[in-house]
Amino acid sequence: MEYGFCRIHNSTYPCHNCIYRFPKVLHTCSGRGRFKNVRGGFFVSKIVVLLLFYSVFIIEVLGGAVMPEIESIQFDKSFYHPGESVTLQVKVKGEDLEKFSMTVEVMDLEKVILEKAYPLSSSLTIKFPAPSKYPSGYGIDLYLRNKKSKNIVSRNSRSFDVLEHWIEMPRYGFLTDFSPGRISPEMTMEFLTQYHINSLQYYDWMYNYGKLVYPGKGDQYTDAWSRTHLISKNMLRRLIEAGHKKNIYSLAYVPIYAATKEIYKKHPDWALYQFVNETWKPVEFENKLIIMAPDNKGWSSFLIDECKKAIKEIGFDGIHLDQYGYPKDNVSTKIVGKEYKPYTTSKGFVRFIDKLKSSISPQVVFFNCVDNWPGKIVQSESEEDVVYIEPWESCNTYNDMYNMIMKAKKYSNNKPIILAAYIKHFFENSIFYSNALILSSGAHRLELGEYDLLLDGPYFPGDAYPMDDNFMGKMLAYYDFSVRYEQLFYSNTFKIIDLQNQISSKFPLSNYPEPKKIWLNVRKDTKSRITMFNLVNFLNINYSFWRNWQPEPEKVNDFTLEISGQLAKSLKGYSFYFASADGNLRMIPISAIHNGEIITLKLPFLEYWSTIFAIPKSN
């Protein structure tokens, strides 16, 4: 029998007791109780035979009623602290619900660690204590079964994680609207919770450059850059409070060295200078702001006091420091006594970051490495809590992006990595190629924030756009996938395994991301001894520029990998599992054929990103 594709399972592989056992010539299951022809014209006689053959099954399972379907699973928190209760709100639609039951399984990788059955209704609240192991991701799989036949008629999978502190796994978002009439803070945080966003950058919230907190009477003021966007201090506090209820934390955006010309006139000795037209002039930004020496004692004390005031008066949980990518080291000067001395900007950044961190700890500090500058110095020497990079000219290809992530991990001793990698919102395929690379490499991407908006450029208030439900649904699966297996994707105890002709396939494979090949990244976690085979499908792209438009991937079904050499020897006594961000969140076992020194694995499919997990049977 030839099986159809089921979006409930997102797999062409048959599952026991599932209604998509109908032959492919008859239907494909949409996951929403709708069937459609996937082969095209076929003979009426074949339809008649098939309908007769399955008539009993149709009567039993469908019963002439609308099939029950798990419509949604909503979490109450973006993540859970140890000891917290996990609460899910589950919506089910359909008829004759009393004829069905729901089973809930909580997964730790391939293992079921909690299983419970519930009587079915259109709305269910499911509670259970958060698992004790952290930091770690978990899966949750819900099944609807016909009580009589025990057949599965609907399923849905989500994920959650348990963290001691959100900084262990920062999934970063953004906010730009702080006006009194903005979309409800509660609705915004509910939206972000479902994507597991646990931290937010409040972009351009401040009253002025240098003078952050509004000093005037009343609640409202306008934004520092254009003075056109209305901001309410009360709304800032409401957003922060609504976030805390969902375990979402808020960071104040603060330019590290930008001051108004009024501040400069009072303190010219704080500024950086360049020799222009036979005279010393302060370094400017957009003919609007003056660039200060970040570690100047007067400036750093002034700005850090403002940061502390923002935390105390508004309620922020940390500071997100920004810079403009210049002046580079030793191209500007600072005033020392009566002399102008060459200034090493990167060292000034490090000294400010460390001074701020010591002043506001335990609150967190982020710093934007614009175009990965000054990457190594800040990442290896400063006390910043994460590595945040906004890639520009130095990072153009997928391989550039991968190397940037891996070097940042090395320099920072495995601090969390966040990329503000801007891709035009209408280049949807390009977004998923990049997300597959970033997430599978153990980094995060800034892209979600304001309700139902996707970021696609550096000026957040003007570069965020609404996306359709199909796109956002696929995005949700990517976030769920990375969260479910985060203890492996983001492990600090892994080593990369060089393929060295140890893995072959009829499709071209590569050790690094490149066009017309499948990128196969093999990593072994030395602590758990689990080996991961991350496959990202670049077969259909002609060039490697991640910002540009890319075509849809050439989906590959039922292909094999042959593993040989030392890698095959190291995997004896292992079980193999398959999962995918593109529809198969839960691990499913796959057979491994051992033929001498060769292991052959058959993968169900590869769209953008799929993963094979080799897990020791002793685990």
The secondary structure of 47-96 as a DSSP string is HHHHHHHHHHHHHHHTTTSPPPEEEEEEESSSSB-TTPEEEEEEEEE-S-
Regarding whether 611 and 510 lie in a shared domain, the answer is yes
Tell me the average pLDDT of the chain.
90
Q: Which of 47-56, 169-178, 430-439 has the lowest mean pLDDT?
A: 47-56
Question: Within a domain: residue 547?
Answer: yes
Q: Is the pLDDT of residue 12 over 90?
A: no
Residue 37 near residue 23 (C-beta atoms within 8 A): no
Q: How many domains does the chain have?
A: 3
Domain of residue 599, CATH code? 2.60.40.1180
Question: Within a domain: residue 31?
Answer: yes
Regarding whether 75 and 60 lie in a shared domain, the answer is no
- pLDDT for 469 equals 96
Using the structure block, give the residue that is written with the tokens 């066009």: 515
243-268 per-position pLDDT tens digit: 999 999 999 999 999 999 999 999 99
Picking from 530, 593, 482, 490, the residue whose alpha carbon sits closest to that of residue 110 is 530
End-to-end CA distance of the chain: 36
- pLDDT for 21 equals 27
Residue 346 near residue 378 (C-beta atoms within 8 A): yes
Residue 154 near residue 69 (C-beta atoms within 8 A): yes
CB atoms within 10 A of CB 528: 16
Residue 29 near residue 8 (C-beta atoms within 8 A): yes
- pLDDT for 446 equals 98
Quick one: pLDDT band at residue 65, thresholds 50, 70, 90?
A: low
Question: Within a domain: residue 602?
Answer: yes
Who contacts 361 (Cβ-Cβ below 8 Å, separation ≥6)?
A: none
376-397 per-position pLDDT tens digit: 999 999 999 999 999 999 999 9
Last residue of a domain, one of 129, 162, 195: 162
Q: CA–CA separation, 107 vs 339, rounded Å?
A: 65
Question: Within a domain: residue 540?
Answer: yes
Question: Within a domain: residue 504?
Answer: yes
Is 439 exposed, middle or buried (CB count within 10 Å of its CB: 0-12, 13-18, 19+)? buried
How far out from the chain centre does Cα 581 lie? 12
Domain of residue 90, CATH code? 2.60.40.1930
181-229 per-position pLDDT tens digit: 999 999 999 999 999 999 999 999 999 999 999 999 999 999 999 999 9
Regarding whether 507 and 612 lie in a shared domain, the answer is yes
Regarding whether 154 and 79 lie in a shared domain, the answer is yes
Regarding whether 97 and 13 lie in a shared domain, the answer is no
Q: CA–CA separation, 554 vs 491, rounded Å?
A: 30
Question: Within a domain: residue 609?
Answer: yes
Question: Within a domain: residue 168?
Answer: no
Regarding whether 92 and 51 lie in a shared domain, the answer is no
Q: CA–CA separation, 425 vs 448, rounded Å?
A: 11
Average pLDDT over residues 99-116: 96
Q: CA–CA separation, 272 vs 281, rounded Å?
A: 8
Regarding whether 609 and 508 lie in a shared domain, the answer is yes
Residue 534 lies in domain: 494-616
Regarding whether 108 and 7 lie in a shared domain, the answer is no
Quick one: pLDDT band at residue 506, thresholds 50, 70, 90?
A: very high
Regarding whether 600 and 529 lie in a shared domain, the answer is yes
- pLDDT for 41 equals 38
Last residue of a domain, one of 145, 162, 179: 162
Is 199 exposed, middle or buried (CB count within 10 Å of its CB: 0-12, 13-18, 19+)? buried
Last residue of a domain, one of 114, 140, 162: 162
- pLDDT for 157 equals 97
Residue 50 near residue 26 (C-beta atoms within 8 A): yes
DSSP collapsed to 3 states, 349-418: HHHHHHHHHHHHCCCEEEEEEECCECHHHHHHHCCCCCEEEECCCCCCEHHHHHHHHHHHHHHHCCCCEE
Using the structure block, give the residue that is written with the tokens 């030395």: 526
Count CA atoms within 13 Å of residue 494 on its CB side.
25
Residue 612 near residue 532 (C-beta atoms within 8 A): yes
Regarding whether 138 and 59 lie in a shared domain, the answer is no
560-589 per-position pLDDT tens digit: 999 999 999 999 999 999 999 999 999 999
Q: How many percent of the chain have pLDDT more than 90?
A: 87
511-532 per-position pLDDT tens digit: 999 999 999 999 999 999 999 9
- pLDDT for 6 equals 38
- pLDDT for 61 equals 42
Regarding whether 148 and 41 lie in a shared domain, the answer is no
Is 399 exposed, middle or buried (CB count within 10 Å of its CB: 0-12, 13-18, 19+)? middle
272-291 per-position pLDDT tens digit: 999 999 999 999 999 999 99
Average pLDDT over residues 321-343: 96
Q: CA–CA separation, 179 vs 446, rounded Å?
A: 23
Picking from 559, 562, 558, 560, the residue whose alpha carbon sits closest to that of residue 599 is 562
pTM of the model: 0.89
Long-range Cβ pairs for the range 503-510 (8 Å, 24+): 503/533, 503/561, 503/562, 503/563, 503/564, 503/567, 504/561, 504/562, 504/564, 505/559, 505/560, 505/561, 505/562, 506/559, 506/560, 507/539, 507/556, 507/559, 508/539
Regarding whether 104 and 13 lie in a shared domain, the answer is no
447-490 per-position pLDDT tens digit: 999 999 999 999 999 999 999 999 999 999 999 999 999 999 99
Q: At what angle do helices 428-440 and 469-484 cross, to 10 degrees?
A: 10
Question: Within a domain: residue 296?
Answer: no
